[in-house]
Amino acid sequence: MRISSFGHAAVSLLLCCVAAGCALVNPPPAPDRPGPREASTPRIGAPEPVLELYGIEPDGLLERLRRGFALPDPGGSEVRYYERWFASNPAALDQLVDPGGWYLPYIAGEVFARGMPAEIALLPAVESGFDATARSPSGAAGLWQFTGRTARHYGLEQGTWFDQRMNLEASTRAALDYLDQLHRRLRGDWLLALAAYNAGEGKVRRLMEGNISRGRPPTFRFLNLPRETRHFVPKLIALRNVLADPERHDVALPHLADEVRYVRVDSPRQLHHVQVARICGIEPALVSQINAGQVRRATPPGGPHLIRLPRDCDFSLDAPGLYAKVPERRSADATYTVRSGDSLWRIARAHGLSLAALSHANPGIGADLAPGQRIVIPETRDKESGEHEIVHRVEPGDTLSALANRYRVSARSIARWNRIAINSTLNLGQLLKIYPK
């Protein structure tokens, strides 16, 4: 049978369609070369892989924060520097989950309730690395790093057994009150309010007035702020930028559940963190972290005996050994009576201590000392070597090797003293014990 030219064309078309159909069912093997990153080529109608990779879960806390981001980007090299820093330091982002996951859901709820920009909830990441036990050399303490004087002004109480600067609810209320007041007083400008939170309202106001007198804009970008403040605000904005667009910065974000992770138990008797941790089967450090305001690692003898515990803690108020006697302060600690002209720095130096170690031994102490005031001088000698202890708070760029060179000890010794691996990544705000020669 002869086939016309039209028939030949039809047969050819049919064969092409069959071949194409086979190719769709059994595609040829991919070329031996790396393909594009999955996250950079999302499939229409199937966004789940992208969300999983970059941590943009629609039901997560980070997504709720993104919807509330509202602060302007002041620009400048500082913001770009810290964007790169966060992108290359995943441990800094992990702090949003641990320890931040214990606090951020509550803080975010308070920020949203006041109608504030969601970035305000991230401020403790810059202030303290979300470490409620953090203390600065200047005596600031807690998630929001309140100094003694500012804390007293906003009603945060400090005593022998408690320090509300390190209490989640009390310190958050005070910090948001302070920021709200600064925002109203400084032209409704949140960047100026944040700058004043770090440098002081009086300092920022004087710089604004100086700019106005010289015909310059009284805005954050044009103020001649202290170096620390010039980095403080951009660092927060950079963190916001990375969380808002992780794909652009090539980072994978951790998942952060939008729920409070703890419960609060009210006991009829005094509770000590060590006993509670033993009953729950968790580390005492975790109990002390989420109850950092209880500076003696126990509820006050006279109450209240309210304590936070992880939700999955199998806790019973009838557990044997729960109410063991709270140990008294070590008898090896000495005391010093403040004299006229004394300062914490001078006392610490005279006794071979760091400011952090002296502040830690005197919960609630402020920078203003009164003659006759008694200061606890802790016995800070390493039992093995008899050397004095320094408490170092990890800053950007710190590594074990860099700290070893700085304090003239070995990196392996620092790792051993702090029970961490020699190749550990240090977390911003982490406290390390060091015993220099």
**Residues annotated as part of the active site:** 127
Handedness of CA 140, 142, 143, 148 (dihedral sign): negative
In 3D, which of 412, 86, 105, 124 has the Cα closest to residue 251? 86
Question: And the tokens for 24?
Answer: 């769709």
Distance CA 297, CA 289 (A): 10
Question: And the tokens for 61?
Answer: 């806390």
Distance CA 264, CA 267 (A): 10
Question: And the tokens for 388?
Answer: 């004095």
DSSP classification of residue 388: B
Rg (CA), the chain: 28
- The β-bridge partners of 433 are 391
DSSP classification of residue 185: H
Distance CA 257, CA 244 (A): 17
Give a three-class secondary structure readout of 104-173. HHHHHHHHHHCCCCHHHHHHHHHHCCCCCCCECCCCCECCCCECHHHHHHCCCCECCCCEHHHCHHHHHH
- Exposure string of 304-314, with b = 16+ CB inside 10 Å and e = fewer, is ebebbbbeebe
Amino acid at 390: I
3-class state of residue 175 by DSSP = helix
Q: Are 239 and 62 in contact (CB under 8 A)?
A: no
Question: And the tokens for 418?
Answer: 């702090």
Distance CA 50, CA 55 (A): 8
